[in-house]
């Protein structure tokens, strides 16, 4: 019995970029990665929100920098990547494509503008950033990309036509990229949560005529009887980014409280 066991799920000396990290799931992932030892680029459209999270990480003794980034803009993604390369010429070790938007409606209640908005943010955002940061990972033969999809990318969800369209695309991109780059030791996976109780979801619930009823209906969707917590999604993102997941690629990691298990 010699020596100490290495710390599991360590991201020591890793560089990560997390989009949509100004709140909710993205914030939880950014904080989790920093606690695991990574230097984290906290990327968000909302500069104040990104600054708050990056500041909190630094105050807690971690390493972080804010990055103002609109994932739906190729120019904005390029500018953000250039800023990262200026400080870290080798690029990043971990990319988390978390930023996304939602939409309620069937195909009959979805106009072209709404469809384009979801495709631009939820799909092209993953495309833009993966295309920018993947080459450095391939050159080093090391890296991990974690895409945030949804249970709506694994099974259909009523009244979420455009959202499901975009998240099924994320799952498909994940699998295609994973196959294309597995031999280079770059792993690409996605996380597919059911409903998560984030500030965004709480704000949406507050807009309903009967918030208590809306909350009850949203929690009842999951057989476990509640929504997920952001930290529970962050734990999966930590695993997928870590060396402990070195044999995991092309997976859709379902975290849904039993939603997809059947009725």
Which distant-in-sequence residues (6+ apart) come within 8 Å of 143 by Cβ? Answer: 92, 93, 94, 95, 133, 134, 136, 137, 185, 186, 187
Q: 33, 41, 119, 163: which one is catalytic?
A: 163
Look up residue 38 and give its DSSP letter: -
Active site residue 239: no
Closest among 30, 78, 79, 88 to 58, alpha carbons compared: 30
Tokens (6 digits) for 258: 């039993």
- DSSP codes joined into one string, 193-257: ES-B--HHHHHHHHTSSSHHHHHHHHHHTSTTSSPBPHHHHHHHHHHHHSGGGTT--S-EEEEST
Task: Count CB atoms within 10 A of the CB of residue 119.
Answer: 16
Tokens (6 digits) for 172: 């498909």
Q: Give Rg (Cα) of the chain.
A: 18
Beta bridge partners of 196: 228
Tokens (6 digits) for 63: 């390493």
Which residues form the catalytic set? 163
């Amino acid at each position: 019995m010699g020596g100490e066991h290495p710390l599991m799920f360590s991201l020591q000396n890793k560089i990560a970029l997390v989009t949509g990290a100004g709140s909710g799931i993205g914030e939880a992932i950014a904080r989790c990665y920093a606690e695991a030892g990574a230097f984290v680029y906290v990327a968000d459209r909302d500069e104040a929100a990104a600054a708050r999270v990056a500041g909190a990480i630094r105050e807690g003794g971690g390493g972080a920098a804010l990055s103002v980034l609109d994932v739906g803009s190729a120019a904005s993604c390029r500018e953000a990547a250039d800023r990262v390369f200026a400080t870290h010429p080798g690029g990043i070790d971990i990319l988390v494509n978390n930023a996304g938007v939602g939409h309620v409606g069937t195909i009959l209640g979805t106009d072209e503008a709404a469809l384009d908005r979801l495709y631009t943010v939820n799909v092209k955002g993953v495309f833009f950033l993966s295309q920018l940061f993947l080459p450095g990972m391939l050159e080093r033969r090391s890296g991990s990309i974690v895409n945030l999809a949804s249970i709506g990318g694994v099974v259909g969800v009523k009244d979420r036509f455009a959202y499901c369209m975009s998240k099924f695309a994320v799952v498909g991109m994940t699998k295609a990229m994973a196959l294309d780059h597995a031999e280079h030791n770059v792993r690409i996976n996605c996380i597919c949560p059911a409903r998560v109780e984030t500030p965004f979801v709480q704000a949406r619930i507050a807009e309903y005529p009967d918030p208590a009823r809306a909350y009850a209906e949203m929690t009842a969707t999951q057989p476990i009887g509640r929504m997920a917590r952001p930290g529970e999604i962050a734990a999966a993102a930590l695993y997928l980014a870590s060396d402990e997941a070195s044999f995991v690629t092309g997976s859709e990691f379902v975290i849904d409280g039993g939603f997809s298990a059947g009725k």
